[in-house]
């Protein structure tokens, strides 16, 4: 892996890598906007979204198992693909193995926790909302670290 340098790749591959990383950034940004529109990034709104409301049960119903399964199904396939492809490119940066391994583990742990957190919120405790926030933050930071490292390495002077 150390013999392959992103900066030494042909321009067409560099453009592909850059477009891919940018598309992931756009997709992740849109997902943050979706969460913001749905819950206003408010703890109480987030809990109500998954658990419903005891004060207004006819207005705010808990998420159905079918809805939760549908969302988890899509995310459990798409997130590992995105994380895996980004991590694969990240492997070709000259950073230390420990650094790369740590960020890859953080991104996959964040993804898995992010997929499971809504179930924890709905079925176990409203305090699991903090796991959702922590996992989203872990994914965001790990994506930024990997994406910026990839872009930097791709376009630096060889």
Window from 17-21, 59-63, 97-101, 102-106 with minimum mean pLDDT: 59-63
Is the per-residue pLDDT at 54 higher than 90? no
CATH architecture of 6-155: Up-down Bundle (1.20)
Give pLDDT tens digits for 40-51.
Answer: 999 999 999 999
The pLDDT value given to residue 155: 98
Mean pLDDT to the nearest integer, 23-32: 96
pLDDT-derived band at 144, boundaries 50, 70, 90: very high
User: Sign of the CA dihedral 131, 73, 28, 14?
Assistant: positive
Give which of 88, 67, 75 is closest to 132, Cα–Cα: 75
The pLDDT value given to residue 58: 77
- Percentage of residues of the chain with pLDDT beyond 70: 98
What residues does each domain of the chain span?
6-155
Place of tokens 């109500």: 48
């Amino acid at each position: 892996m150390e013999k392959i340098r992103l900066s030494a790749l042909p321009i067409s591959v560099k453009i592909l890598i850059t477009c891919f990383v940018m598309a992931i950034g756009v997709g992740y940004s849109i997902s943050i906007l979706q969460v913001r529109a749905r819950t206003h990034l408010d703890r109480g709104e987030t809990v109500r979204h998954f658990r419903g409301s005891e004060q207004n049960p006819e207005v705010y119903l808990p998420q159905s198992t079918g809805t939760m399964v549908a969302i988890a199904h899509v995310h459990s396939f798409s997130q590992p693909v995105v994380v895996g492809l980004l991590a694969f490119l990240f492997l070709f940066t000259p950073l230390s193995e420990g650094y790369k391994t740590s960020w890859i583990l953080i991104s996959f742990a964040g993804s898995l926790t992010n997929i499971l957190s809504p179930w924890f919120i709905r079925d176990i405790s409203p305090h699991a909302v903090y796991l959702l926030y922590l996992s989203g933050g872990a994914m965001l930071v790990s994506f930024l670290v990997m994406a910026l490292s990839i872009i930097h390495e791709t376009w630096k002077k060889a």
